Structure 1
Amino acid sequence: MAKPTMQKPASIRATLRPLELSQHLFEVELVFPAEALGQGAVAAMPAWTPGSYLVRDYARFVDRMRLVEGRKESPLEKLDKQRWKLPASKRELTIRYRVYGNDLTVRTNHVDATHAQIIPAATFLYLEGQLDRPVEVRFEGFPGDWKVASALPQKQGAYLAKDFDTLVDSPFELGTFRTRRFKCGGTTFELAFTGLHSGDEGRITEATEKIVDAAGAIFGGFPFDRYVFLFTFAPKLRGGLEHKDCTSLISDSHAFDKPEGYYALYQLVAHEFFHAWNVKRLHDTVLGPFDYSRENPTKMLWFHEGLTAYMEHVIVLRAGVVPWSHTSKELARCWGEQVQRPGRLEQSLEESSWDTWIRLYKPHEFSPNSSVSYYDKGEMVAWLMDATLREGSRGKAGLADLFSLLWTRHGETGLRDADVRQAFKELSRKDPAAFWEAYISGRTELDAAPLLRAFGLRMEAQAPWETLPVDERQDPASLRRAQSWTGLSLAANGPTIQNVIPDSPAAAAGLSFGMEILAVDGWRTTTAAEVQRGFSQAGPGAMVTVLAADRGRVFEARVPVMLSPERSHRLVPDPRAGATPRTSFTASYGQAWPAAPVKRGGRR
């Protein structure tokens, strides 16, 4: 006897209409089927969107919530900040509400007279307990020359999401965007370009194709038939948010006068595209299906984000769209920041992952001294993990191979920390406990020795005065300025204290966040540069008198100046590196082992 087939739930029908585009206002109409309302229901607005781990309270952008019955409209009972009560009904019910969207990020709606970026989590209500119900989305009344870009399939004018999770994972771009397409491995890729910019869209498309090919090679192909890149350009903005079959990318319109602008965009493309596997499919079981009403904490964001931040470099290097000379500077800069960040001694990567909802996305003045980023430190730990895998396998396996193995074994079935450890153990032939206790759950200082052993790359630390040109190093005043340090960081727009390094001279003198430095050794200071000049002119070993203001009260403090402990870092290929490290470098990055720089003017 054949098993009875489950009847597909009736769809929620959604229609979006412009109200006043110049005022960033649009209307949403939702028609709920009768079968969803027999006992009444609760309609809720998500509090956050997957991929951006912060409660954003999207309901704050919504008003005029009303039940529509013919020409009659009545308000809905609001249960809390983001939930409304729907009455029991034997017929379908229609509700309408207004949405304000004037925040151009990849996490929020932005509509105006030129385009509309619709972020589903910030736009659509869901029925509690009925996330599996399909949603049909239509657009009416928008300018006639506007098009719609979306990863969702279209049928008879409606965009079809099989459930609410799929809808949330499918942003829309409306407007007069430019479109390009290419095919790779049987998959169709579409690129929608919105906004004016100084870049070459043909060049960006060509690089994106190479990035797609390099990423797909890691996993043996693509887990989708169609994928959409939504590129938006606006001055001084940058961001990306991954989705299952598409990604939203925002780049600075004026970034492309130098190659580095393209490199930054290519890294962003690689990062968000790699997420199509890492986090959108291969993910901690906590990260899907989601609870959209509250935080969904996980200890594995170091894996999903930190390792992806490193893999973006691997992918663009393998794709040949970013040179090693640029990547090595990026890696060395990030290394230097992490080994000198005071918070490295206070918070582990697992703790950073778990607390992201209240700490990483809500930093305060003391955050650099008490926390780390699972993105940035995670990227450096991923680098060490790649080196450890190469070293343990004698160059045969690296981090890309770890992802390939995990994808083969776990795919979309859910991933645990134990699964990552097991794959690490098999490929590196090492017990993962020591690595995890040092760098994942622990706070051990980063050690660059594996980079030298595995890849033949030496991490060199240089004091500020060591990077000076020869003539300035021989000048006592220039040398004294480069050597001076108080542990004080100032805001870019004035002499206001932004941070004080714990246990530094400035901290010992009682200086703290938000105070204003009025004078140094009797000289009036109105800019950050003038404050730093006052300290640096005194030189290490001097005692400087500071006039400062704290909440309107002026006081005097004496600040000792000490020899600077700050260091810049650079990667230098070790000419003594053997064949295995050189081969491992090529295996990880797809490029020839770099030649050592030539010494010039006292510097290499």
Structure 2
Amino acid sequence: MTKLTPIRATVRPLDLPQHLFEVELTFPAEAVASGATAALPAWTPGSYLVRDYARFVDRVRRVEGRREWPLEKLDKQRWELPASKRELTVRYRLYGNDLTVRTNHVDATHAQIIPAATFLYLEGQLDRPVEVSFEGFPTAWKVASALPQKRGVYAAGDFDMLVDSPFELGTFRTRQFKTGGTAFELAFTGDHNGDEGRIAEATKKIVEAAGAIFGGFPFKRYVFLFTFTPKLRGGLEHKDCTSLISDCHAFDKSEGYHALYQLVAHEFFHAWNVKRLHDPVLGPFDYSRENPTRMLWFHEGLTSYMEHLIVLRAGVVPWSHAAKELTRCWSEQVQRPGRLEQSLEESSWDAWIRLYKQHEFSPNSSVSYYDKGEAVAWLMDATLRAGSRGKAGLPELFARLWARHGEKGLTDADVRRAFQELSGQDPAPFWGAYISGRAELDPAPLRRAYGLTMVAKAPWESLSAAEAKDPAAQRRARAWTGLVLAANGPSVQNIIPGSPAAKAGLSFGMEILAVDGWRTASSGEAQRLLAEPGPGGKATVLAADRGRVFEVRVPVVESPDRSHGLVPDPRATAVQRATFVAAYGQPFPSAPVKPGTRR
């Protein structure tokens, strides 16, 4: 097989405080001998939304010495390259001022380079190697990347590998550890109030717990890119690395560490689930358009559950925290109106146009394959455990799929087959209820497998002892109109379909000016006044819609809202207790977990 000559890419700063940088690409003569089309990806794998990265690109031109020619733009993200008997160099400017794990961000303190948002590829030549170098950045800056490098040149075997390898440049801090024959590197960017030694130690335990599921690691080197900045959280998986963003002020409480550990576990588990073990649609990719799949519930939803299991087995998060997170998720899903409208398969397929492009009515018409998928994964794990008398759960399902399919591609039929083998049950009823169907979540498998009972509590059942004796507090706790207000003011964020507020004509974006003659300056005041009449009463609401003020009477009914908690059965059998320990690596709980509250 003829070895392809690589494309050479050079990245240079133009004006870091203004978030401007430049990319120069030199295409070998063999690649452009007959002309070619250069394109910028419209999206990046792992984030299922067309982001139109080309909107950040301008001044695209061919360069030869001091001479420059603009390239003909064919559409929003493609440029025509002329035929050339020699190397052809293209240079262009980029703007990067969006600090997420999916977008470029450069300033005077660091540069985060996301390859999909940065580098053009040649259509029909995605298998051509790419070599990346950096010039002109501050001399004190280092580069963190999962790509191998030699004398400052980072080599990607093809464009897919390049896209899967983000770069972090700056004065970041580093830590390393080795386990299971693999070297792990951690790069920390940004100030924060956490303990990096503690984070590194927990990360080591997390990767060991995940690796134990699969009998080792499918790589010899892996890089964690940690970025800390106020009020942000997110992660994006790659084959040999992951990008993580965390709130820099979150670590004054243990919950801040727990949230970061869950994020680490989630993205690291993706090194198997989706980066290697995946629906064939998800690689090789078409970077120009959507790549829809019905299996994001498996790749993301099951991973959202596995993050809890991994941090529990690693011993870095207590069961009490994980249980609260799981029951909070459960509470949200069983009360989300969209649960009756959209299945997990439909949510997966429509991710590109619905999950990442939410509108006001979305909670009433859709579910998230992340959150609903997490709850269904919990039930799937319990169903597997109950069917195998505690011998197998989701970890064993993943291990079997990995051993059987590896990186060869994975279908829904493959998952069903493994489920049937491990549980001894026909998968059709489970899939029909929860994956292709819209059945209500049934907590019975949690009790059968683990000896855990899901208990629902009404708002008035969660009152303090003193409030429970107060008739007015009881009346307000029972009240409900179906009106969901924004956190930053008394404007309507959502209206539950069929609710009293919906029947009264209130709708999205309206402002609640007063209730029963009392001015409402905040959403809290509005909700308190709406609850005052109690079930059976009515509230007079003064509202504004696009500047027009009007008045409606809103009936108040008893609240259907419920929070959920897990109660361990003191009479749980030895098999149930052993199943819990085998699944989570922690002792069977001795005290009830308080109900989770809605987010």
Could you tell me the TM-score, scaled by structure 2's length? Answer: 0.99
SS in 1 for 2:442: coil
Cα deviation for residue 598 of structure 1 reads: 10
* 1:148-198 Cα shifts (integer Å, max 9, x gaps): 000000023200000000000000000000000000101000000000000
Rounded Cα–Cα distance in structure 1 between residues aligned with 2:452 and 2:50: 41
Rounded Cα–Cα distance in structure 1 between residues aligned with 2:551 and 2:463: 33
Q: Which runs of at least 4 in structure 1 moved beyond 2 Å after TM superposition?
A: 596-599
Letter in 2 for 1:420: V
Aligned residues of 1:497 and 1:516 also touching (Cα < 8 A): yes
Task: Report the equivalent of 1:190.
Answer: 185
Task: Report the equivalent of 2:301.
Answer: 306
Rounded Cα–Cα distance in structure 2 between residues aligned with 1:157 and 1:573: 56
Letter in 2 for 1:83: R
Task: Report the equivalent of 2:561.
Answer: 566
Please state if 1:382 is matched with 2:377: yes
More divergent stretch after superposition (190-199 vs 468-477): 468-477
Question: Percent same amino acid among aligned pairs?
Answer: 80
Please state if 1:230 is matched with 2:225: yes
Residues 97-108 of structure 1 mapped to structure 2, 5 A cutoff: 97-108=92-103
Cα deviation for residue 566 of structure 1 reads: 0.3
More divergent stretch after superposition (466-475 vs 266-275): 466-475
Task: Report the equivalent of 1:602.
Answer: none
Cα deviation for residue 596 of structure 1 reads: 2.8
SS in 2 for 1:529: helix
Task: Report the equivalent of 1:392.
Answer: 387
1:453 alignment partner, one of 435, 448, 451: 448
Task: Report the equivalent of 2:156.
Answer: 161
Cα deviation for residue 494 of structure 1 reads: 1.1
2:237 alignment partner, one of 217, 242, 261: 242
Rounded Cα–Cα distance in structure 1 between residues aligned with 2:452 and 2:507: 39
Task: Report the equivalent of 2:48.
Answer: 53
Residues 201-600 of structure 1 mapped to structure 2, 5 A cutoff: 201-597=196-592
* 1:327-351 Cα shifts (integer Å, max 9, x gaps): 1111111000000000000000000
Letter in 1 for 2:504: A
Cα deviation for residue 544 of structure 1 reads: 1.1
SS in 2 for 1:270: helix
Task: Report the equivalent of 2:60.
Answer: 65
Rounded Cα–Cα distance in structure 2 between residues aligned with 1:494 and 1:159: 50
Rounded Cα–Cα distance in structure 2 between residues aligned with 1:487 and 1:529: 15
Rounded Cα–Cα distance in structure 2 between residues aligned with 1:11 and 1:109: 24
Cα deviation for residue 419 of structure 1 reads: 0.2
Unpaired segments ≥5 residues, structure 1: 1-5, 600-604
Rounded Cα–Cα distance in structure 2 between residues aligned with 1:91 and 1:393: 65
SS in 2 for 1:247: strand
Cα deviation for residue 428 of structure 1 reads: 0.2
Unpaired segments ≥5 residues, structure 2: 595-599
Rounded Cα–Cα distance in structure 2 between residues aligned with 1:537 and 1:380: 35
Letter in 2 for 1:504: S
Rounded Cα–Cα distance in structure 1 between residues aligned with 2:152 and 2:336: 53
Cα deviation for residue 481 of structure 1 reads: 1.2
Rounded Cα–Cα distance in structure 1 between residues aligned with 2:393 and 2:277: 18
SS in 2 for 1:142: coil
SS in 2 for 1:103: coil
Rounded Cα–Cα distance in structure 1 between residues aligned with 2:325 and 2:552: 38
Please state if 1:122 is matched with 2:117: yes
Cα deviation for residue 597 of structure 1 reads: 4.0
SS in 2 for 1:102: coil
Cα deviation for residue 231 of structure 1 reads: 0.3
Rounded Cα–Cα distance in structure 2 between residues aligned with 1:133 and 1:457: 54
Letter in 2 for 1:138: S
Rounded Cα–Cα distance in structure 1 between residues aligned with 2:431 and 2:469: 46
Letter in 2 for 1:300: M
Letter in 2 for 1:475: D
Could you tell me the TM-score, scaled by structure 1's length? Answer: 0.98
Rounded Cα–Cα distance in structure 1 between residues aligned with 2:570 and 2:276: 41
Aligned residues of 1:575 and 1:596 also touching (Cα < 8 A): no
Aligned residues of 2:58 and 2:92 also touching (Cα < 8 A): yes
Task: Report the equivalent of 2:35.
Answer: 40
Rounded Cα–Cα distance in structure 1 between residues aligned with 2:582 and 2:542: 57
Rounded Cα–Cα distance in structure 2 between residues aligned with 1:501 and 1:61: 39
Cα deviation for residue 469 of structure 1 reads: 0.8
Instruction: Kindly report the root-mean-square deviation, in angstroms, between the aligned alpha carbons of the 2 structures.
Output: 0.8
Letter in 2 for 1:372: V
Letter in 2 for 1:222: F
Task: Report the equivalent of 1:3.
Answer: none
Rounded Cα–Cα distance in structure 2 between residues aligned with 1:469 and 1:548: 33
Rounded Cα–Cα distance in structure 2 between residues aligned with 1:597 and 1:248: 36
